Structure 1
Amino acid sequence: MVGFRGLRVLAVAAGSVGGLSGAAYGLLNTQSRQARTVIGVPRELPFVADGVFAPASSGPPLTFAVFGDSIAAGLGAESPDGLPGVRLARELAAASGGPVRLVTYAVSGSRTTDLVPQVDAALRTPPDVALIMIGGNDVTARIRIRTSAALLAAQVRRLTDAGTAVVVGTCPDLGAIRPIPQPLRAVARRWSLALARAQTRELARTEATSVPLAALLSPRFMADPDELFSPDRFHPNGAGYALAAEVVLAPLCAAARVRTMA
């Protein structure tokens, strides 16, 4: 999700954009250091479990690609079975009755600018259906909201022009991350929700389907943080990813049906 160093950048951005007083900026800067201390630095990489997931029947596999940041990659899942890509590949296979090949291009720490090499790699053999989840690192990297959303739409168009059906989970609500103290958490929430809205507007001009992750998931994560966050209190755990997979499954199944009938 969010880069840890980006918390300080977010404090700087809040001060420069919002015209905060020196005292208010000092508070945000102090809080960013406190949050980084509490959260720590991830010591593990996400599991990789790419491969073919097949029900009883066989046939040529539907290729399902996952793009984005640590959330898309599944950092925080306790096992490969908990990865969002694995959960969704299995569900797609069950729904379609045929095999599904999962290919993960998502990389922890990615910003929307980093989608370019991910999509470059995928377009060597365009996937049938794709899921993109990205945006949190853009907030803390001070990438302009309008620029970030336009970059996302441009990469979506590259995929759809190649015949890939695309579903995008828009930027999650960073205000759900409890280790980020107030008022810094409120700044993170405001910016992440603004980015999600901008992503939705830009995606409406493409052939992709957008899923509002913040609106659908934030209430649950805020109500049950101990049940849905991993030990770093920053990334979801397997249960959290199961919830995220649940809200994007129906749009993915619809996209996959359209692609296979094309």
Structure 2
Amino acid sequence: MAGMRVVRALMLGAGSVGGLSGAAYGLLNGQSRRARMIIGKSTGLPRNADGVYLPDGSGPVPAEPHDALGFAVLGDSLAAGLGADTEDQLPGVHLARGLAEEAGRPVRLTTHAIVGSRTSDLDEQVDVALIDPPDLALIIIGGNDVTTRMRVGTSAALLGKQVRRLMRAGTTVVVGTCPDLDAVTPIPQPLRTIASRWCLALARAQRRELDRLGAHSVSLAALVSPEFRQRPDELFSADRFHPNGAGYELAASVLLAPLCDAAGLTHSWGLLTA
């Protein structure tokens, strides 16, 4: 998600919901401009460290073990790891290493996530993933649906369609539901509250759809966003919108136990699904 586009879209969306007065619209417009100046524009592509990770923590390695667990990451910039300074800080790398340790077998990480993706873009990522269906997939998606004002019901239905495609191919799917933009402090009030309400409504709709399918969900808004709200200087990258390495490590620590549980692996954590 690009920070400048986010606040602009939220401001326009706020104006279309409830019929804002001229003064209120002017307030949100001014807040939008200030937030864009603070956040700036995201540049460059996220790092990539796809490959095979071994139970001893090493990797990626060039060899392709026959017993490797296929693990795919799909979604938007949060899934791709935009904001991480090194490959070791990528969420997919954290999770691949954790899965390899818990499984006692190699894990092959493949990242299909693309910066800026909405749920409507997932079909192309799933098309590629299904060329060689992974054993386990993590999807993080939804923030860009909020900032581009996609209807909550439409977004949840699109997610369900792509999750079904993966499940039919034998892939176990875990979804990190829409995070809460209330943690992004450069978006001022009341604009941030509007964004937060949309995020939470979408996360609830995503979970309902996933529950209906029998897929696994993890509430990033409940389990990760509060930490970002309390420790923004420690967990956000320089753009103050995407996580930094510490932020991705925190998110991975929340996601690892549900991934292990979904994959039928033994682990030492309690379930953190929500």
Q: Report if TM-score (shorter chain) is over 0.5.
A: yes
Shift of 1:7: 1.8
1:26-68 CA-partner distances (Å, limit 9, x unpaired) = 2112211221111111122110000000125965211100000
Moved more, 103-112 or 47-56: 47-56
In the alignment, which residue of structure 2 is the partner of 1:134?
A: 141
- 1:215-234 matches, within 5 Å, as 215-234=222-241
Deviation, 1:207, is 2.6
Structure 2 unaligned residues grouped into runs of 5+: 58-64, 266-274
Aligned residues: 258
Residue type matched to 2:16 in 1? S
Structure 1 residue 48 and structure 2 residue 55: aligned?
Answer: no
- The 5 Å alignment of 1:30-179 reads 30-55=30-55, 59-179=66-186
> Is the alpha carbon distance of 1:220 and 1:238 closer, same or farther for their aligned partners in structure 2, counting shifts above 3 Å?
same
Change (3 A) 1:32 1:14: same
- Separation (CA, whole Å) in 2 of partners of 1:186 and 1:257: 38
- Alpha-carbon shift at residue 4 of structure 1 (Å): 2.6
Instruction: Among all aligned residue pairs of Structure 1 and Structure 2, give the percentage whose two residues are the same amino acid.
Output: 67
TM norm structure 1: 0.95
Paired with 1:158 and 1:130, the residues of 2 have a C-alpha distance of: 12
Match for residue 195 of structure 2 among 173, 188, 191 = 188
Residue in structure 2 matched with residue 23 of structure 1 by the alignment: 23
CA distance in 1, matches of 2:94, 2:168: 27
Distance 1:56 1:69 in 2: 29
Gaps of 5+ in 1: none
Ranges of 4+ aligned residues in structure 1 off by more than 3 Å? 56-59
- Is 2:77–2:113's contact at 8 Å kept on the other side of the alignment? yes
Rounded Cα–Cα distance in structure 1 between residues aligned with 2:95 and 2:5: 31
Q: Distance in 2 between matches of 1:105 and 1:207?
A: 23
Per-residue CA distance 1:72-129 (angstroms, 9 max, x = gap): 0001111100000000000000000000000000000100011010001111111100
Q: What code does the residue aligned with 1:96 have?
A: A
Whichever residue aligns with residue 239 of structure 2, its letter is: D
Q: Match of 1:65, SS?
A: strand
Q: CA deviation at 1:218?
A: 1.8
Letter in 1 for 2:253: E
Amino acid in the other structure paired with 1:153: G
Helix, strand or coil at the partner of 2:20:
coil
| Residue identity opposite 1:81 in structure 2 | D
Q: Is the 8 A contact 1:166 1:209 kept in 2?
A: yes
The answer to whether the Cα contact below 8 Å between 1:78 and 1:237 also exists between their aligned partners in 2 is yes
Give SS of 2:212's match: coil
CA distance in 2, matches of 1:193, 1:18: 19
Residue 204 of structure 2 corresponds to which residue in structure 1?
197
Report the aligned-residue RMSD: 1.4
State TM-score, norm by structure 2: 0.91
Asked if structure 2 preserves the Cα contact closer than 8 Å seen for 1:113 and 1:151, the reply is yes
